[in-house]
Amino acid sequence: MTTTRKTFAVASLFTVSLNAMFGIATSQQQISAEENDEKQYPRANDVEVHTEFTFRDAVEISDGFQIYEQVSGFDRINDSAVFKLTGAVDYDRMYLYEAADMTFVRGVTNVQHDYGQFDVTVRLQKDGTAFRTFEYTDCSIIDYKVDTLTDKEEPWFTSKGFATVDEFEFECNGYAPVNPLFDSVVSAGNVASTQSSMDLRDTQTWSDSYR
């Protein structure tokens, strides 16, 4: 009888231990899943920044930039176009890191190396559909730094509120905006026939055109 009770007690302890271990493992998986969810930065309207860097001997594609900023180029006053890309540090920009390092070693004005000049395509897209595309040619890195951004509303001892990001600034000799949605409509022959105010005579009004 005593042996039976001891065996039952040991079995009960073993079962409790397994349940505890399983509970810890499940909790860790849940925490890990939550942390992975937190790494997915929310985007308004689910629009993401898709970039393609074409170097002399490699093409690097990245969806890891969260911020795209056009600095100059639209006014055509300057010969060059300048833009910035900011994104959490990630593994999908190996060649871009090399370009930044080589630029630091050789100098910003010395682009005579494999990663000194390159082309960049920036697409603003959703579910694989591009809304806006910007094509840059003969680009070089003119500034690069790493920064840690914080959410000042969150205290330091929580798991939220910190993002270590790359900040790149580029200068390019060529710049061309592309409107892929409009181009697809035109190519399909679905052009709107709505009358424009530019088509009216000086003495004509909108009401006159419908009489």
Let me know if residue 21 belongs to a domain: no
Residue 97 belongs to domain spanning: 48-187
Distance, in Å, from the CA atom of 208 to the CA atom of 203, rounded to the nearest integer, reads 9
pLDDT band per the 50, 70, 90 thresholds, residue 190 = low
pLDDT at residue number 182: 83
Let me know if residue 174 belongs to a domain: yes
pLDDT at residue number 27: 44
Count of the separate structural domains present in the chain: 1
The mean per-residue pLDDT over the stretch 81-101 comes to 94
Strand intervals (E) in the chain: 48-54, 59-65, 67-72, 81-88, 118-126, 129-150, 162-178
The mean per-residue pLDDT over the stretch 164-193 comes to 83
Give me the residues paired with residue 174 across strands.
137
Distance, in Å, from the CA atom of 67 to the CA atom of 48, rounded to the nearest integer, reads 9
pLDDT band per the 50, 70, 90 thresholds, residue 191 = low
Q: In whole numbers, what is the pLDDT of the chain averaged over residues?
A: 76
The three-state secondary structure class of 75 is coil
Let me know if residue 69 belongs to a domain: yes
Residues 125-172 have pLDDT tens digits of 988 888 899 999 999 999 999 999 887 776 666 666 788 999 999 999
Residues 51-80 have pLDDT tens digits of 999 999 999 999 999 999 999 988 766 678
Q: What is the CATH number of the domain that holds 182?
A: 2.30.110
pLDDT at residue number 132: 93
Lowest mean pLDDT among 10-19, 61-70, 152-161, 186-195: 10-19
Q: Which two tokens stand for residue 144?
A: 């690069």
How far CA 160 is from CA of 93, 98, 154, 157, in Å, comes to 24, 30, 7, 9
Let me know if residue 7 belongs to a domain: no
Within a 13 Å sphere around the CA of 12, how many CA atoms are in the beta-carbon half?
6
Let me know if residue 42 belongs to a domain: no
How far CA 166 is from CA of 17, 88, 89, 148, in Å, comes to 45, 6, 6, 9
Let me know if residue 200 belongs to a domain: no
Q: Which of 8-12, 90-94, 206-210 has the highest mean pLDDT?
A: 90-94
pLDDT at residue number 10: 44
Q: How, if at all, do strands 48-54 and 129-150 pair?
A: unpaired
Let me know if residue 168 belongs to a domain: yes
Q: How many residues does the chain have?
A: 211
